[in-house]
């Protein structure tokens, strides 16, 4: 028989938060006066964190909530927020009995925009039901709709992933040059992930190549120096020509390059 929460006048109940970052780090917090360990995570005492009302919808509309609190833990640092370590992190909010450690999940989703002002942070939470608002019907497109090395693409990610070290950095141009690896042109559209130092776990899209230098979408992390270890994965421009000549993977191409576009429908007849 499941527990009925708040059935009595006095309850040993606190609110917990679990934050699973995309770099593999999971943090836990609880609105209790001492740390609690459950679900394999140590939840640190954070009485300054206060959740808003969680508004749950009966239909497919996303549930809504937000959370704000004081940056009182080393685990939540302004530098990490600014570096994007909490972007798109998975969030779980629920109740925990601080005596029996019985839990009840109330909300799950991902972190949206995180902002800081005067030592306090506020975060928008996006409900897991938000995914149900997406249109599942694929649309036609001249380029491939499949993500590179996804199940639809069919190519192995390991085949196009490489390890290297940083040979040079240019903070003014926001570029990084590798000591070894494939042609920089093949890395455009892929990503670079830092493997050590203060920036370990952070990743950035490679948006262009300037000679041997890679231009990154995100600013180079503070404290990063030449010699830092990185992992890079090649990219794909999603065109049929690249799919055929570079990858020999046209059987998995998810696009319609020869389908007439809207410009043909709007074309006016001309006298010959």
Mean pLDDT of the chain: 83
Task: Read off the pLDDT of each residue in 225-231 and give the average, rounded to a whole number.
Answer: 93
- Tens digit of pLDDT for each residue in 21-55? 888 889 998 988 899 999 999 999 876 666 655 55
**Domain check: are 124 and 29 in the same one?**
yes
How far CA 63 is from CA of 34, 55, 60, 207, 248, in Å, comes to 30, 6, 9, 34, 44
Compute the chain's Rg from CA coordinates.
24
Task: Read off the pLDDT of each residue in 129-143 and give the average, rounded to a whole number.
Answer: 76
**Rounded distance between C-alpha atoms, residue 71 and residue 82, angstroms:** 13
Q: How confident is the model at residue 61 (pLDDT cuts 50, 70, 90)?
A: low
| Residue 178: φ, ψ to 5° | -90, 155
- Tens digit of pLDDT for each residue in 145-192? 999 999 999 999 999 999 999 999 999 999 999 999 899 999 999 999
Q: What is the CATH number of the domain that holds 52?
A: 2.30.110
Give the tokens for residue 14: 């606190």
**Rounded distance between C-alpha atoms, residue 178 and residue 167, angstroms:** 5
Whole-structure pTM value: 0.69
Of residues 6, 5, 16, 32, the one with CA closest to residue 107: 16
- Percent of the chain exceeding pLDDT 70 equals 80
Residue 85 forms part of a structural domain = yes
Residue 74 forms part of a structural domain = yes
Residue 201 forms part of a structural domain = yes
- Tens digit of pLDDT for each residue in 243-261? 999 999 999 999 999 888 7
Residue 106 has pLDDT above 90, yes or no: no
**Domain check: are 88 and 166 in the same one?**
no
Please give the pLDDT value at position 46: 79
Measured over the CA atoms of residue 232, residue 237, residue 243 and residue 244, the dihedral's sign is negative
**Domain check: are 165 and 91 in the same one?**
no
Of residues 198, 196, 197, 182, the one with CA closest to residue 232: 182
Residue 147 forms part of a structural domain = no
**Domain check: are 107 and 201 in the same one?**
no
Q: Which residues span the domain enclosing 73?
A: 13-131
Q: What is the CATH number of the domain that holds 222?
A: 2.40.10.190
**Domain check: are 162 and 221 in the same one?**
yes
**Rounded distance between C-alpha atoms, residue 254 and residue 84, angstroms:** 31
**Rounded distance between C-alpha atoms, residue 211 and residue 209, angstroms:** 6
Residue 261 forms part of a structural domain = no
**Domain check: are 197 and 99 in the same one?**
no
The total number of structural domains that make up the chain? 2
Please give the pLDDT value at position 216: 95
**Rounded distance between C-alpha atoms, residue 8 and residue 12, angstroms:** 10
Residue 57 forms part of a structural domain = yes
């Amino acid at each position: 028989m499941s527990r009925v929460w708040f059935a009595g006048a006095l309850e040993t109940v606190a609110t917990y938060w679990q934050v699973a970052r995309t770099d593999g780090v999971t943090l836990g917090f609880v609105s209790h006066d001492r740390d609690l360990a459950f679900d394999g995570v140590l939840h640190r005492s954070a009485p300054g964190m206060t959740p808003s009302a969680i508004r749950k919808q009966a239909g497919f509309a996303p549930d809504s909530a937000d959370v704000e609190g004081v940056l009182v833990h080393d685990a939540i640092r302004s530098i990490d927020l600014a570096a994007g370590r909490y972007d798109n992190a998975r969030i779980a909010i629920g109740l925990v009995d601080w005596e029996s450690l019985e839990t009840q999940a109330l909300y799950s989703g991902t972190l949206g925009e995180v902002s800081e002002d005067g030592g306090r942070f506020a975060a928008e939470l996006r409900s897991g039901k938000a995914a149900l608002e997406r249109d599942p019907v694929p649309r036609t497109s001249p380029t491939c709709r499949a993500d590179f090395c996804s199940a639809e693409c069919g190519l192995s990610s390991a085949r196009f992933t490489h390890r290297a070290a940083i040979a040079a950095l240019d903070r003014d141009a926001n570029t990084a040059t590798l000591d070894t690896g494939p042609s920089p042109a093949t890395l455009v559209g892929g990503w670079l992930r830092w493997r050590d130092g203060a920036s370990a776990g952070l990743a950035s899209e490679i948006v262009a190549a300037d000679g041997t230098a890679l231009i990154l979408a995100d600013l180079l992390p503070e404290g990063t120096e030449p010699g830092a270890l990185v992992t890079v994965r090649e990219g794909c421009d999603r065109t049929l020509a690249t799919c055929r000549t570079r990858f020999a993977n046209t059987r998995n191409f998810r696009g319609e390059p020869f389908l007439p576009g809207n410009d043909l429908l709007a074309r006016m007849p001309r006298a010959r």
